[in-house]
């Protein structure tokens, strides 16, 4: 079976991606299983640029089909911040909790109708003669305080549209039905299946 190398070191993202990839005839391998020393550098200005850089780095190192995710939370009141800096909003090597606290402090006193936000994910697939992208967005609002213990990152402070619960109060199955990453993956799934059936560039 052909292998797909996941260009991510975020175990939560890896779990979500593995779930989405369950029924696709590819052997899924995380980058740390094949090249733990490889640096995945994210110094681009867009999710697309960063996802492409990560997938290209892994393809260059392994010569195998590589999939990367770059994602984050965009708060409209803050002109899209934290955006591409989501993982390191409160500083490089910080915790999810610190990122959430920083964001909540910046949004303190902002009225509910001005707390709109979106989670945004871009997936990049790189192989021989292949560079493809898929994007997904989930609209919602920023909560007033963290709620829930599921998931990771900004999940405890993001309430997706149509829900009163945060992402962190949804089960993994519920989140995976509506999330930015699942929407991006639904498109990537088509791309992967097309490549597998034609075998072009994979």
> Catalytic site residue 32?
no
Q: Is the peptide bond before 78 cis (omega within 30 degrees of 0)?
A: no
Nearer of residues 175 and 195 to ligand ITT, judged by Cβ: 175
8 phi and psi angles, rounded to 5 deg: -145, 150
Q: State the minimum distance, in angstroms, from the CB of residue 154 to ligand ITT.
A: 4
* Interface residues toward ligand ITT, by CB under 6 A: 8-10, 13, 40, 42, 69-73, 86-87, 99, 119, 151-155, 167, 179, 181
Sheet hosting strand 158-160, strand order edge to edge = 27-30, 3-6, 66-75, 116-127, 130-142, 158-160
Q: State the minimum distance, in angstroms, from the CB of residue 59 to ligand ITT.
A: 15
Angle (nearest 5°) at CA 132 between 81 and 184: 50
Nearer of residues 72 and 127 to ligand ITT, judged by Cβ: 72
Residues 99-117 as b or e (16 or more Cβ within 10 Å = b): bbbebbeebeeeeeeebeb
Q: State the minimum distance, in angstroms, from the CB of residue 111 to ligand ITT.
A: 24
Which residue among 43, 69, 70, 161 is the active-site one? 70
Nearer of residues 12 and 196 to ligand ITT, judged by Cβ: 12
Q: State the minimum distance, in angstroms, from the CB of residue 199 to ligand ITT.
A: 27
CA–CA separation, 117 vs 140, rounded Å?
5
Nearer of residues 44 and 196 to ligand ITT, judged by Cβ: 44
Which positions are catalytic? 70
């Amino acid at each position: 079976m052909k292998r797909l190398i996941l260009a991510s070191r975020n175990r939560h993202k890896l779990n979500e991606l593995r779930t989405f990839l369950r029924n696709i005839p590819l052997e899924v391998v995380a980058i740390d299983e094949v090249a733990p020393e490889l640096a995945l550098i994210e110094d681009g200005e867009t999710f697309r640029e960063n996802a492409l850089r990560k997938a290209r780095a892994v393809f260059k190192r392994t010569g195998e089909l590589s999939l990367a995710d770059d994602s984050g939370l965009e708060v409209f009141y803050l002109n899209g911040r934290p955006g591409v800096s989501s993982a390191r909003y409160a500083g490089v090597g910080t915790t999810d909790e610190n990122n959430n606290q920083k964001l909540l402090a910046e949004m303190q006193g902002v009225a509910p109708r001005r707390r709109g936000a979106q989670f945004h994910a871009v997936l990049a697939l790189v192989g021989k003669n292949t560079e493809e992208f898929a994007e997904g967005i989930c609209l919602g609002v920023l909560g007033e305080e963290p709620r829930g213990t599921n998931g990771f990152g900004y999940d405890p402070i993001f309430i997706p549209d149509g829900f009163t619960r945060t992402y962190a109060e949804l089960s993994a199955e519920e989140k995976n039905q509506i999330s930015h990453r699942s929407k991006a993956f639904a498109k990537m799934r088509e791309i992967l299946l097309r490549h597998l059936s034609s075998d072009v560039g994979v």
